[in-house]
């Protein structure tokens, strides 16, 4: 039984994700379009043409702890045979030839398609649920990376131990699929990187944000077109005037747009109306939510208070990338700025591919995608890559059938609400330990 025949037979099983499924998620025409759109020529006589390099970068994202040569070896089933082994220097030169732009194009194209379907499948009251938040990633400490990305300033002009990339992401909250990402030097704030993501937010949607994103220019830009809405938490120093009371702790308020914001954008109004919802959870201090959803009948306050806490899904997504995909080694491999960008796009694309397969498992198990274990799904895909490179083709269908029977191991128990305030359990610096005296909402 040949390899292709084995995979054809395996297709009769509704199984957890296979390597073939993983590959098929990326339309081959997308790779060709990515290379064409970014002006990246493919020299097919080369040992590593551009199409193969893209898969190598994805493999680097999947196998964080493996040397490049090992990643190339594991990709033998996904790539046309290259004959003799490929030297590390050849891979490096090939990556330099391809650059970061094709990976960026491929991520953005695939993210737009995958996230749209996912958001429609998990709506709340007819609205697609998204979140925006920022984070940072360490990169190798080279002069070029420091000059391009910078880092955190310390005492007496010192800088952080590693250069830092600041990243902002737009995520479908109920599936963790990334709909868009933007990143660059540490010196710019996360709102600057979030601005381009607004174009990826569809109509009839609700975007949930941390209070650090509160500002008239940014939030009114979300409201601008297509029935797009937002939900955030108010800052403690917010001043407002009550326009109308809907119920206890539920009001329509008016906020003055700052002079600074109006200097940046003279088209902004002098005042700005929004809904304010005050609530309190047991063990936590009272919180004030702000939203553009002004109708209390169509969008109940209690549901919005619960919904705000789904913003935490984006933080969990960042943790999945840093803790599981990067295995807590947040300093990625690339020592040159364009290589850093290329690798980051590959990591983000690999993350979305894993999340896409998790959505498939969730559909088969009839649970929400957030009930599927990222750790188990990632382990399965990595293991699949391993055992398909050594097993006989005839054993593949039987192996996949066994995986199908064990699908329940992927399903996590229902998510519980936080019952206790966040606190530092292990002190990792010389500063005094600080624990919250009163609980804070996520």
Tell me: pLDDT of 77 over 50. Answer: no
pLDDT-derived band at 166, boundaries 50, 70, 90: very high
For 276-325, how does the pLDDT look when each residue is reduced to its tens digit (9 = 90+)? 999 988 777 889 999 999 999 999 999 999 999 999 999 999 999 988 88
Tokens describing residue 272: 């700005």
For residue 129, pLDDT beyond 80: yes
Q: Which residue has the higher pLDDT, 21 or 158?
A: 158
- The residue-averaged pLDDT of 1-20 equals 40
Q: Is the pLDDT of residue 341 over 90?
A: yes
Domains of the chain, residue spans? 3-102+341-410, 103-315
With contact defined as beta carbons under 8 Å apart, do 183 and 342 qualify?
no
Give the whole-number percent of the chain exceeding pLDDT 70.
74
What confidence category does residue 90 fall into, taking pLDDT thresholds of 50, 70 and 90? Answer: confident
pLDDT-derived band at 61 (thresholds 50, 70, 90) equals confident
Which pLDDT score, from 0 to 100, does residue 203 have? 94
* Among candidate residues 298, 136, 274, 287, the one with its CA nearest the CA of residue 210: 287
Q: Report the alpha-carbon distance of residue 115 to residue 130 in Å, rounded.
A: 10
Name the residue among 215, 134, 129, 149 with its Cα closest to residue 181.
134
Q: What is the mean pLDDT of the chain?
A: 80
User: How far apart, in whole angstroms, are the C-alpha atoms of residue 275 and residue 254?
Assistant: 9
Higher pLDDT, 410 or 360: 360
DSSP state of 155: G
* pLDDT (0 to 100) of residue 96: 87
pLDDT per position as a tens digit, 173-227: 999 999 999 999 999 999 999 999 999 999 999 999 999 999 999 999 999 776 9
Structure confidence at residue 422 as a pLDDT band (50, 70, 90): low
The region of weakest confidence among 5-14, 93-102, 364-373 is 5-14
Higher per-residue pLDDT: 183 or 5: 183
Tell me the β-bridge partners of 137.
165
pLDDT of amino acid 426: 54
Percentage of the chain lying above the pLDDT 90 cut: 47
| pLDDT tens-digit map of 362-412 | 888 888 999 888 888 888 777 766 655 545 545 545 555 555 555 566 788
The residue whose two tokens read 């938490």 is 233
Look up residue 323 and give its DSSP letter: I
Q: Let me know: does 281 contact 264? Beta carbons within 8 Å.
A: no
- Kindly state the tokens that stand for 317: 């997504």
Write the DSSP string, 345-386.
Answer: HHHHHHHHHHHHHHHHHHHHHTS-GGGB-HHHHHHHHHHHHH
Tell me the per-residue pLDDT of 38-50, one tens digit each, with 9 for 90 and over: 777 554 445 567 7
pLDDT of residue 159: 75
pLDDT level of residue 433 (50, 70, 90 thresholds): very low
Contacts for 429 with CB less than 8 Å, ≥ 6 apart: none
Instruction: Compare 364 and 416 and report the one with higher pLDDT.
Output: 364
Across the range 164-170, mean pLDDT stands at 96
What pLDDT does residue 196 have?
96
pLDDT at 266 over 90: yes
DSSP E strand stretches across 28-87: none
């Amino acid at each position: 039984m040949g390899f292709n025949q084995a995979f054809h037979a395996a297709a009769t099983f509704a199984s957890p994700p296979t390597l073939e499924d993983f590959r098929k998620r990326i339309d081959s025409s997308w790779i060709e379009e990515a290379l064409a759109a970014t002006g990246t020529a493919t020299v097919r006589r080369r040992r590593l043409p551009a199409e193969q390099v893209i898969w190598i970068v994805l493999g680097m994202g999947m196998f964080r702890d493996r040397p490049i040569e090992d990643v190339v070896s594991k990709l033998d089933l996904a790539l046309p045979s290259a004959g003799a082994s490929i030297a590390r220097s050849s891979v490096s030169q090939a990556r330099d030839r391809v650059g970061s732009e094709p990976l960026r194009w491929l991520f953005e194209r695939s993210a737009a398609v995958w996230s749209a379907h996912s958001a429609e499948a998990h709506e709340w009251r007819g609205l697609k649920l998204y979140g925006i938040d920022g984070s940072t990633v360490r990169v190798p400490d080279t002069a070029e990376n420091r000059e391009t990305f910078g880092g955190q300033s310390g005492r007496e002009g010192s800088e952080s131990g590693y250069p830092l990339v600041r990243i902002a992401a737009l995520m479908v909250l109920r599936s963790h699929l990334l709909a868009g990402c933007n990143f660059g030097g540490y010196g710019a704030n996360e709102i600057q990187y979030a601005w381009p993501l607004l174009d990826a937010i569809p109509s009839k949607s609700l975007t949930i944000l941390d209070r650090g994103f509160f500002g008239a220019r940014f939030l009114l830009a979300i409201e601008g077109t297509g029935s797009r809405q937002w939900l955030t938490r108010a800052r403690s120093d917010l001043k407002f005037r009550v326009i109308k009371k809907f119920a206890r702790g539920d009001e329509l308020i008016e906020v003055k747009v700052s002079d600074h914001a109006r200097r940046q954008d003279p088209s902004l109004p002098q005042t700005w109306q929004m809904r304010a919802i005050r609530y309190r959870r047991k063990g936590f201090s009272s919180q004030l939510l702000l939203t553009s959803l002004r109708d209390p009948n169509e969008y109940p306050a209690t549901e919005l208070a619960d919904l705000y806490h789904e913003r935490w899904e984006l933080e969990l997504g960042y943790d999945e990338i840093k803790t599981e995909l990067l295995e807590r080694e947040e300093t990625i491999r690339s020592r040159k700025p364009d290589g850093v960008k290329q690798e980051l796009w590959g990591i983000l694309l690999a993350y979305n591919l894993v999340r896409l397969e998790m959505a498939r498992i969730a559909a088969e198990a009839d649970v929400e995608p957030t009930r599927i274990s990222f750790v188990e799904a990632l382990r399965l895909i990595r293991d699949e890559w391993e055992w398909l490179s050594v097993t006989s083709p005839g054993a593949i269908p039987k192996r996949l059938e066994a995986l199908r029977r064990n699908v329940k191991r992927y399903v996590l128990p229902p998510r519980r609400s936080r019952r206790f305030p966040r606190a530092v359990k292990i002190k990792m610096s010389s500063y005094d330990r600080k624990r919250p005296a009163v609980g804070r909402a996520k």
